[in-house]
């Protein structure tokens, strides 16, 4: 039996978060701006029907299909929020939203957490600009990569750099905060940046 028009619309409708969750989301954007992830997962068959910038940042490997982050459509907030986009854009729910839906945290406290995290990130980026000469608004995940490269390139003969140690420590603290409240604890060991002189392959 052929589907009615309303059934077709219902079948293709993207999942939508409750408005109370959306209120938290619009103050954040960590899942879009390169703070939490450097790529987003696509569903099979989505390529070819995505917004142009997502198509342009598409890549795939043996594990799946993706588009790179930060998303080109994110500018302090999603600029295509009510338009067609990747399924993950509407389906993804961070740990903070899950905790909120389970009443483990109030909306007010969730917003405060996001605000405080943004302040920490801003301070880290400013310090990174000074220590590593990175761009002012470098995505946090890109900063972690740059920091790892810089630390790994240093030798034991290099003089100790207190500001580098502070930057590394603050990145570790901020990443732990992201994992605790926005991601999952399983990501901790693979994401942690080693302190100067610490073996990056050592288990923690």
Boundary (domain end) residue, out of 29, 64, 93: 93
In a domain, 176, yes or no: yes
Backbone angles phi, psi at 59, to 5 degrees: -155, 165
Please report the pLDDT score of residue 157 as a whole number: 85
pTM of the model: 0.79
Interval 24-63: pLDDT, tens: 888 899 999 999 999 999 999 999 999 999 999 999 998 8
Structure-block tokens of residue 76: 């302090």
> Confidence class of residue 123 from pLDDT cuts 50, 70 and 90?
very high
Mean pLDDT of all residues in 101-130? 96
For residue 60, the cross-strand partners are: 65
Say yes or no: 101 and 192 in one domain.
yes
Assess whether pLDDT exceeds 70 at residue 9: no
Say yes or no: 192 and 151 in one domain.
yes
- Residue range of the domain that includes 52: 37-93
Say yes or no: 109 and 194 in one domain.
yes
Say yes or no: 124 and 196 in one domain.
yes
Say yes or no: 101 and 182 in one domain.
yes
Total residue count of the chain as it appears in this document: 204
Give which of 173, 185, 192, 177 is closest to 127, Cα–Cα: 173
Helices (H), ranges, the chain: 5-12, 19-25, 52-56, 87-91, 95-101, 107-131, 140-153, 162-181, 188-191
Residues 6 or more apart whose Cβ sits within 8 Å of residue 69: 32, 33, 34, 37, 38, 39, 40, 139, 141
Strand-pair category, 39-42 with 58-61: unpaired
Boundary (domain end) residue, out of 29, 61, 93: 93
**With pLDDT > 90 as the criterion, what percentage of the chain qualifies?**
66
Total domains in the chain come to 2
Backbone angles phi, psi at 198, to 5 degrees: -95, 140
Interval 71-94: pLDDT, tens: 999 998 899 988 889 999 988 889
Give which of 16, 180, 28 is closest to 107, Cα–Cα: 28
Say yes or no: 116 and 183 in one domain.
yes
Say yes or no: 173 and 100 in one domain.
yes
Structure-block tokens of residue 11: 């079948």
For residue 42, the cross-strand partners are: 65
Give which of 160, 130, 124 is closest to 142, Cα–Cα: 124
């Amino acid at each position: 039996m052929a589907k009615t028009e309303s059934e077709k619309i219902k079948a293709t409708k993207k999942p939508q978060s409750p408005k109370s969750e959306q209120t938290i989301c619009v103050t954040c954007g960590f899942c879009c701006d390169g703070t939490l992830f450097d790529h987003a997962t696509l569903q099979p068959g989505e390529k070819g029907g995505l917004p142009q910038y997502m198509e342009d940042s598409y890549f795939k490997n043996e594990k799946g299909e993706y588009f790179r982050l930060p998303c080109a459509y994110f500018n302090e907030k999603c600029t295509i929020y009510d338009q067609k986009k990747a399924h993950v854009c509407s389906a993804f729910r961070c740990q903070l939203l899950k905790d909120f839906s389970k009443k483990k945290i109030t909306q007010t406290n969730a917003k405060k957490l996001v605000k405080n995290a943004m302040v920490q990130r801003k301070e880290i980026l400013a310090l990174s600009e000074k220590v590593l000469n990175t761009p002012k608004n470098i995505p946090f995940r890109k900063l972690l990569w740059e920091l790892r490269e810089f630390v790994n390139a240093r030798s034991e003969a290099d003089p100790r750099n207190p500001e580098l140690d502070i930057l590394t420590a603050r990145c570790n603290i901020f990443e732990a905060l992201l994992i605790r409240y926005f991601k999952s604890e399983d990501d901790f060991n693979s994401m942690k940046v080693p302190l100067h002189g610490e073996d990056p392959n050592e288990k923690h």
